[in-house]
Each structure stands twice: as structure tokens, then as C-alpha cells.
């Protein structure tokens, strides 16, 4: 039996993991399409194949936004796994007048190249014949639903992690110089998201001549930070848009030339407990040669914070960074000083990323024909490796890569929040 390909538009990741039903047209594609390959094997009608493929994308999930504002490109089949994005540097001003009758020197232009290599991702669930025959629930439907959620969140997170690794970072209102200095939960001086944070980021983007997306910069914001921003007296209820159809799903407002798109999948930098079930430990002694002795078991190699200083801890020694080349003088550490996990904010507090994005800041691509694919193998389809027709599988596979193109066209604002990782 031939496969039937269903093609889904450029926002396929969002549709795939949202509650929206998206029906494709067999054999019709476009430049931003993804394919869903339904069931293989005998005994399934076209209607049943369409039903299960549609069920895969019919699943309520967090609003997935991290691919919406990327340059989207495809590598043609047979074109390799690596794509090159090219950026032309602007020409300098020519303020000197030319001499009458004399041809001026020609100019060179400079092209910078960003390369990215596509990788494959996927997952599947195995279903036994006995389970399919005896279970009260339709486990094939449920497996398809769970896989749809997994695929959508996976592909969105791949892009999110790339964007969150950018080098253009602003800590709160630029009051501190590093993530581990961001504080929250105090009576005053908290580094929560404010309108001034946004203004500073916008000022930077404008100074870089970063182009807007449909007339605005775009922010991806976590709901916890939305709460803090809306509590800022400078936040104003946004004006009605002239074209209400162009409001993005999840958009909560617009201020300072930035449209805010809310998603619970926005990046949170979280530091794990020092020990299982133990957030902090006390110091027992600190020495000038970098030695730091802690109460309890030996910690694995990791970042810690003690007396506001972030150091890399390994085998009772503290270093300036994870290469463990230079030790840090810890003689100032006193007995019973509290040690906190060091991968997030002050005292280990969660830190939230709010991304302010301009046009052409990043790109994503996939191999033609290798986009999002729904794959089902029926009982017995494995041949001699399944001689009693006992196992069926349902899964998904996708090819994807995301890369930052111009660091100066995106600002990551890091702040704490009134809330911490959903502990509301």
C-alpha cells in the first residue's frame, strides 16, 4: 500500500502540539511544508489513516513560539546536511568628495557565513497485540497523542536552547553584571522584569539598526514574568490594533515597540539541589589555596555560590572556571556560611529569559521530505523478527537545525520573578 502524505503549513510545529486540527491535501506541498506519513501496511482505509494522523496533531500543549520568527530554509534532497547562511556587512559611509574627472577607488564588500548541520530527532512507543486487544482505552490513539505532544515540545525546545545561548545578554535593568547576582524574594532591590528592562533592550536593537518584524520587535515571555511586568506602573494597556487579525496567538500586549508573546515554554535557568532533597549546605572551613570544606557528602563537580562569589567546585577545591586552571582564594569563607547552587541566580534562585527578537536574528531549516513524519508499523510488519505478530509501533521523526545568525539582532533579558518555576 502506498503512503499518503499530508502537508502542513509553515507553523507545523505549533499545530502539531496545539489543540488545532490541521487537515492537509494529499500530494500538494509548499516551501514550508512538513510531511506526516501515516500508517503502513494492509487493512487500513484512507479514512482511518487520515484519522490517526489528524489525531497526532490534536493535542493541547503549551503555545510553542520559538520557531515563528526565524528565517526558514530547506536543504533540497541530495543537497547534504549543512546549510550556509550568508550575511553581507554594510558599506561604510563615503564622506570624502570625489575629484573631478578622477575615478575613485573601488570598494570591497565582506560576506560572513554561518553554517549549520541538520540532525534527526524522534521517538516511538511499542504496543503489544495483547494490549491492543484487551485494553479498555484506545491505546493507539493515546500513543499518537502523547507522541504529538513530545514532538512539538522537542522541536520547539531545540530552537529555544539555541536562542537562549546567545551572547547578547542584559541582566535586569543592567544593575548587575552576571546571572548569579540577580536577586528576588526580598523586600526591595529585586531584579524583576520591568518596562525599563524592555526600553534598554530596544535602545540596543535600534542602535544596531535591527529591523522590526511586521513593524515591531517581538518578545517571548514566560507567564511568571508577565505578572511582574504588568505590575510595573509604567505598563500600559495596549491600544487596539488596526488589524486585529495580525495579533499573534498568545500575544498579551505591546509597549515600547515590542509585541509580547507569552509561552510557558520560555527558558528558565534552574539550579539543581546540591544534594538530593538538600538545597544548601554550610561551610566547615575555607583555605587560601582554594580549599573549601563542606558539611555532608562530597559534591560532584559543579558551580556553587558562597558569600556572593560564584566558583567552580571540584574535590574540595574552588576554581575560577570549569577548566580548573586557577584556584580561588576561599580564606574568607567562615564556618556555617551557606553554600548555594551556582547555575542560576543569587541564593540559587531561578532566572527567567525574556527574548527580544528583531528580524533575521536566527534561522532554522530542514531537509526536504524529512520534516515532521508520523510512522506506524502494524502487527507483523517486522517480518521474521516478529514471527507471531506480537508488536506494533507508532512513532515520529523529524530533521531540524536552528542557528543564531546575528547576535546583535536579539537581546536576552535575564531576571528573577515573584514566582519561581511555577511555585505559584
Which CATH number covers residue 210? 3.30.2320
Rounded to the nearest 10 degrees, what angle do helices 46-57 and 139-163 cross at? Answer: 40
pLDDT of residue 421: 55
109 found inside a domain: no
Residues near 251 by beta carbon (within 8 Å), at least 6 away in sequence: 259, 260, 261, 262
Residues 147 and 75 in one domain: yes
Residues 249 and 380 in one domain: no
Residues 310 and 260 in one domain: no
Give how many domains the chain has, as a whole number.
Answer: 3
Model-wide pTM > 0.75: yes
399 found inside a domain: yes
- The Cα 58–Cα 363 span in angstroms is 27
Confidence of residue 137 (pLDDT cuts 50, 70, 90): low
Q: Between β-strands 292-294 and 317-319, what pairing exists: parallel, antiparallel or unpaired? A: unpaired
424 found inside a domain: no
Least Cα distance to 394 among 16, 49, 4, 125 occurs for: 125
101 found inside a domain: no
Q: What is the pLDDT of residues 290-315, one digit of tens each?
A: 999 887 767 889 999 999 999 999 99
If one compares 189 and 410, the residue with the highest pLDDT of the two is: 410
Residues 59 and 125 in one domain: yes
Residues near 268 by beta carbon (within 8 Å), at least 6 away in sequence: 222, 350, 351, 352, 353, 421
Q: What is the pLDDT of residues 342-388, one digit of tens each?
A: 999 999 999 999 999 999 999 988 766 666 778 888 888 887 788 88
Residues 175 and 44 in one domain: no
Q: What is the pLDDT of residues 227-246, one digit of tens each?
A: 999 998 888 655 444 455 55
In the chain the first and final C-alpha atoms are separated, in Å, by 52
Query: Domain range for residue 197?
Result: 171-269+349-361+407-415
Residue 4 scores a pLDDT above 50: no
Amino acid at each position: 500500500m502506498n503512503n499518503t502524505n499530508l502537508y502542513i503549513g509553515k507553523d507545523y510545529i505549533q499545530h502539531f502540539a496545539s489543540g488545532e486540527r490541521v487537515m492537509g491535501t494529499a500530494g500538494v506541498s509548499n516551501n514550508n511544508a512538513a510531511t506526516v506519513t501515516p500508517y503502513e501496511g494492509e487493512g487500513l482505509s484512507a479514512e482511518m489513516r487520515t484519522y490517526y494522523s489528524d489525531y497526532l496533531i490534536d493535542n493541547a500543549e503549551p503555545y510553542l513560539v520559538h520557531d515563528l520568527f526565524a528565517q526558514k530554509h530547506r536543504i533540497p534532497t541530495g543537497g547534504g546536511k549543512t546549510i550556509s547562511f550568508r550575511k553581507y556587512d554594510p558599506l561604510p559611509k563615503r564622506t570624502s568628495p570625489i575629484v573631478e574627472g578622477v575615478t575613485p577607488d573601488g570598494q570591497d564588500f565582506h560576506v560572513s557565513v554561518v553554517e549549520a548541520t541538520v540532525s534527526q530527532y524522534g521517538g516511538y512507543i511499542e504496543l503489544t497485540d495483547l494490549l491492543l486487544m484487551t485494553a479498555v482505552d484506545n491505546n493507539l490513539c493515546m500513543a499518537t497523542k502523547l507522541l504529538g505532544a513530545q514532538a512539538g515540545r522537542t522541536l520547539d525546545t531545540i530552537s529555544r536552547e539555541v536562542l537562549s545561548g546567545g551572547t547578547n545578554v542584559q541582566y535586569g535593568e543592567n544593575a548587575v553584571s552576571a546571572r548569579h547576582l540577580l536577586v528576588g524574594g526580598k523586600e526591595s532591590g529585586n531584579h524583576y522584569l520591568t518596562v525599563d528592562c524592555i526600553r534598554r533592550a530596544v535602545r540596543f536593537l535600534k542602535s544596531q539598526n535591527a529591523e522590526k518584524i511586521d513593524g515591531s520587535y517581538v518578545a517571548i515571555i514566560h507567564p511568571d514574568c508577565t505578572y511582574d511586568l504588568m505590575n510595573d506602573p509604567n505598563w500600559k494597556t495596549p491600544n487596539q490594533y488596526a488589524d486585529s487579525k495580525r495579533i499573534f496567538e498568545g500575544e498579551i500586549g505591546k509597549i515600547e515597540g515590542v509585541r509580547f508573546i507569552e509561552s510557558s515554554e520560555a527558558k528558565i535557568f534552574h539550579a539543581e539541589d546540591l544534594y538530593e532533597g538538600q538545597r544548601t549546605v554550610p561551610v566547615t572551613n575555607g583555605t587560601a589555596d582554594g580549599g573549601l570544606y563542606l558539611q555532608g557528602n562530597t559534591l560532584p563537580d559543579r558551580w556553587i555560590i558562597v558569600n556572593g562569589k560564584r566558583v567552580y567546585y571540584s574535590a574540595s577545591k574552588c576554581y575560577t572556571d570549569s577548566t580548573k586552571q586557577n584556584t580561588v582564594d576561599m580564606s574568607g569563607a567562615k564556618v556555617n556560611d551557606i553554600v548555594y547552587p551556582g547555575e542560576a541566580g543569587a541564593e540559587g534562585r531561578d532566572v527567567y529569559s525574556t527574548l527580544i527578537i528583531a528580524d533575521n536574528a536566527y534561522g532554522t531549516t530542514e531537509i526536504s521530505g524529512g520534516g515532521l513524519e508520523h510512522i506506524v508499523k502494524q502487527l507483523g510488519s517486522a517480518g521474521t523478527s516478529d514471527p507471531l505478530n506480537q508488536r506494533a509501533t507508532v512513532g515520529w521523526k523529524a530533521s531540524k537545525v536552528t542557528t543564531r545568525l546575528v547576535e546583535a539582532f536579539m537581546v536576552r533579558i535575564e531576571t528573577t520573578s515573584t514566582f519561581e518555576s511555577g511555585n505559584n
